[in-house]
Structure 1
């Protein structure tokens, strides 16, 4: 075979390999719209249209009705780096057990509106959620929140105690007041700068160390790409801006001082290897090891809430429902009020 022909074939093969790699790489790094357009949810998505603070908004939500209803409803409140879709496994387990499940995306998150100007408060998000539930005929419910959703669930329970049969708090943040402890304020502008630098690699590195105790499974990757995809898309600035506003809300609006005012039963489900603390990396070096001490925070929170029951997972991190779904859901179904 002539040298030129062999060289041409080699170059063609190399070009094909590079092209194939590029296609695979692009497929593994999807780009989504500002309202997570292009990312499929596990159940049909509906939208609640309403006006808040003079702005027309929509909240995306899943309303999953069981085949054999037990007459009870669970409302799922996602965390800061999560969406309604990340509750997929929990929705399935609850639905199979007879519960109606409502899983909204809060304003500013995922498939819901990301307004240019909005005063984010846990009170406002609670009111939005209450209005959504009333629009679909849900009068009373078990309110289950994970991470930032745990802070929201607490605020919701304080505002609507008669409509909250039980709170389930899964590794909630806000079990300590970071500002009072000495974590410096970053402010919205600095949060925005940080959020614009969001990449899949950064998300993965953080989640591996904090959520999954330095372990990784392929099933975690879609949730990394779900978040990173919005930062690759045309709505990156809107996503980052709303995220910055939400971080400022979390930092400036503690709920820890009001735990004694909760009147309903509260199920605390906490992975003790969690170390989450907002703004920890910006805190003084000597303070960082003292933040996010979940073994201590779990015990302190159980004592502070009058009707609390603590279920701990000693070897799990920030997301026990995803790290060990079978074990978590068994404990969840056992801990729900009958």
Structure 2
């Protein structure tokens, strides 16, 4: 075997090993960027465990606490660069995994609602002695952060939404309903190849960088691991929650300082994959949705990232974090 053939074989084996990654039901085996802790509490007549990272400020603390809320296809770990950037600025940063996700319990039965997840998070913060926090939510986490701010305005110092989904009501626009059983069958079929294709198109504006691979590995490994069916079932229940529980109509009710960070090339919309071409053409126009949402939220501030996709904090972390730190600096 010549050197070139040997190198090629080595690359193929490495690719095969990456594709075959498998993690435990609570993401056991995945390398976390910061120490993982667990909060055990009772909810809906069962004991649940919520994984979280609590990153202390580097150097002098500025007295502010930031809570990072992940999206549907994300985990607390995907906030890695944001955890680092904010802690270096003196913030205490807490990144929980919501029940049903990542390092947290996957219940056999759970009535998912954004209110329930917000309450779970509030219990975690009470447990950690946090009385007030800056709440930053990305994607589905933006819907959750909005619900949290509506339920706990006195405990929300500021609301920041990063390409939140739910800036429109997909159902009202004609996006078709899926049963939980249909969602479950869909989730059972998730693969690393399918995840990468979707993320490249939607999250990163058609581009791809090697540093994105580990997030595909994380999600694919969780879905293909020993908790495969539990992970898929909870994912199905969560998708039903997202589709049936819009926060869109309550955006005008927000009473906390709010900033929207929007990658304008984003096209994320629940149900668009099975919608008719006519309906799909109406969904997911973030270059419009961000501006419309900013007008509906009292005194909201809008920051747009032209040409970026669903995850600007991962697509252009330095640019995003500079804008975020400047925005948070306006707090006293």
Which bracket does the TM-score occupy, shorter chain normalised?
over 0.9
For 1:177-213, what per-residue CA distance to the aligned partner results, in whole angstroms no more than 9, with x for missing partners? 0111111110100000000110011110011010000
Instruction: Return 147-156 or 20-29, whichever deviates more.
Output: 20-29
Distance 2:16 2:194 in 1: 18
User: In 2 relative to 1, CA 22–310 (structure 1 residues): closer, same or farther, beyond 3 Å?
Assistant: closer
Distance 2:271 2:208 in 1: 24
- Answering whether residue 37 of structure 2 is matched by residue 46 of structure 1, we say yes
**Among 28, 46, 51, the residue aligned to 2:18:** 28
Distance 1:135 1:35 in 2: 21
**2:171 is paired with a residue of what secondary structure?**
helix
- Answering whether residue 284 of structure 2 is matched by residue 292 of structure 1, we say yes
Shift of 1:131: 0.2
Structure label with greater radius of gyration: 1
Shift of 1:26: 4.0
Shift of 1:234: 1.2
Shift of 1:166: 0.4
The Cα RMSD (Å) is 1.8
**Among 72, 84, 95, the residue aligned to 1:103:** 95
Corresponding residue for residue 160 of structure 1: 152
User: In 2 relative to 1, CA 264–21 (structure 1 residues): closer, same or farther, beyond 3 Å?
Assistant: closer
Corresponding residue for residue 55 of structure 2: 64
Q: Is the 8 A contact 2:106 2:234 kept in 1?
A: yes
Corresponding residue for residue 302 of structure 2: 310
**2:83 is paired with a residue of what secondary structure?**
helix
**Among 170, 183, 189, the residue aligned to 1:191:** 183
Distance 1:233 1:311 in 2: 39
Distance 1:282 1:156 in 2: 30
**2:255 is paired with a residue of what secondary structure?**
coil
TM-score (norm. length: structure 2)? 0.95
Q: Is the 8 A contact 1:263 1:307 kept in 2?
A: no
Where do 5+ consecutive residues of structure 2 fail to align? none
Where do 5+ consecutive residues of structure 1 fail to align? 1-9
TM-score (norm. length: structure 1)? 0.94
Shift of 1:16: 8.3
For 1:133-171, what per-residue CA distance to the aligned partner results, in whole angstroms no more than 9, with x for missing partners? 000100000000000000000000000000001000000
